[in-house]
């Protein structure tokens, strides 16, 4: 019997999860989309032809459902642990979703609440924490490590032995050299080429990537 799935948030990344679920169900009917929880939309409204069932704090009412979080952007990415905690859900209530046309090595480990979109490649020895999001066409090199709640935007390339800290945001098309560390809460800008360690909480942009100094 198909398992009921609720999506947390109604941002653009919801399309990635809908694509993943649709493609999984084409192969075998695995998931039934129950709807969304979102604090910014009224309960009883509809989004992408699915019902908005309530706000995030109502998640525990749905004891027959699994959940996946899509809330997170280059503005809100550091709040992802707070968003997850606000639901009151136990860790094992979160689904791990992999698009059938993604390549995940059998020697990689994925945490709870992770989703892996179309065209992603995850190499052997990769370790992924909980609630990490891989957008379409990311390439993840062998033996890299991702802490909880990291968000990897489309077509980012992360080489081998890289360590990505909690609540990092890796922008679309960014490239990270092997054996570097991107510390917690850092943001790597779109198209940046990272050749050096990135300290916690900073934003780096450009080629080669340099810390962005805000005026």
pLDDT in tens, 9-54: 999 999 999 999 999 999 999 999 999 999 999 999 999 999 999 9
Q: Which residues contact 68 (CB under 8 A, 6 or more apart)?
A: 5, 6, 7, 8, 17, 94, 95, 97, 113, 115
Question: Could you tell me if 39 and 52 are in contact, meaning their C-beta atoms sit under 8 angstroms apart?
Answer: no
Token pair recorded at residue 146:
């991702």
Residue 193 buriedness (CB in 10 A; 0-12 / 13-18 / 19+) = middle
Q: State the DSSP code for 95.
A: -
Q: Name the β-bridge partners of 193.
A: 175
Considering the candidates 22, 99, 131, 142, report the single residue annotated as catalytic.
142
Q: What are phi and psi of 70, to 5 degrees?
A: -120, 10
CA dist 54 to 18, 43, 202, Å? 19, 5, 35
Token pair recorded at residue 179:
């054996």
Q: State the DSSP code for 141.
A: -
Per-residue pLDDT, 213: 79
How far apart CA 39 and CA 186 sit, in angstroms, is 26
Q: Does the active-site annotation cover 142?
A: yes
What share of the chain has pLDDT > 90, as a percent?
A: 98
Question: Could you tell me if 103 and 85 are in contact, meaning their C-beta atoms sit under 8 angstroms apart?
Answer: no
**Angle ∠(5,9,10) on CA atoms, nearest 5:** 100
Q: Using alpha carbons only, how large is the chain's radius of gyration in Å?
A: 17
pTM score, whole prediction: 0.96
Question: Could you tell me if 161 and 141 are in contact, meaning their C-beta atoms sit under 8 angstroms apart?
Answer: yes
Q: With bands split at pLDDT 50, 70 and 90, how would you rate the model's confidence at 1? A: confident
How far apart CA 168 and CA 166 sit, in angstroms, is 6
Per-residue pLDDT, 148: 98
Arithmetic mean of pLDDT, 123-132? 98
How far apart CA 70 and CA 40 sit, in angstroms, is 14
Q: Helix, strand or coil for residue 142? A: coil
């Amino acid at each position: 019997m198909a398992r009921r799935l609720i999506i947390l948030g109604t941002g653009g990344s919801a399309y990635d999860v809908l694509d993943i679920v649709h493609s999984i169900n084409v192969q075998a009917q695995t998931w039934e989309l129950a709807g969304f929880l979102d604090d910014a939309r009224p309960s009883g409204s509809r989004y992408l032809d699915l019902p908005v069932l309530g706000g995030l704090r109502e998640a525990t009412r749905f004891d027959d459902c699994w959940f996946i979080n899509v809330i997170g952007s280059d503005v809100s990415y550091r709040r992802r642990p707070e968003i997850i905690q606000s639901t009151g859900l136990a860790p094992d209530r979160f689904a791990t979703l992999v698009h059938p046309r993604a390549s995940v090595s059998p020697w990689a480990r994925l945490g709870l609440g992770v989703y892996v979109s179309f065209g992603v490649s995850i190499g052997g020895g990769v370790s992924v924490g909980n609630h990490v999001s891989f957008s379409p066409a990311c390439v993840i090199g062998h033996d890299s490590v991702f802490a909880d709640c990291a968000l990897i935007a489309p077509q980012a390339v992360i080489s081998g032995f890289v360590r990505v800290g909690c609540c990092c945001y890796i922008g679309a098309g960014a490239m990270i050299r092997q054996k570097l560390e991107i510390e917690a809460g850092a943001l790597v800008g779109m198209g940046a080429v990272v050749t050096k360690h990135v300290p916690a909480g900073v934003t780096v942009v450009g080629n080669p990537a340099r810390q962005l100094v805000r005026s």
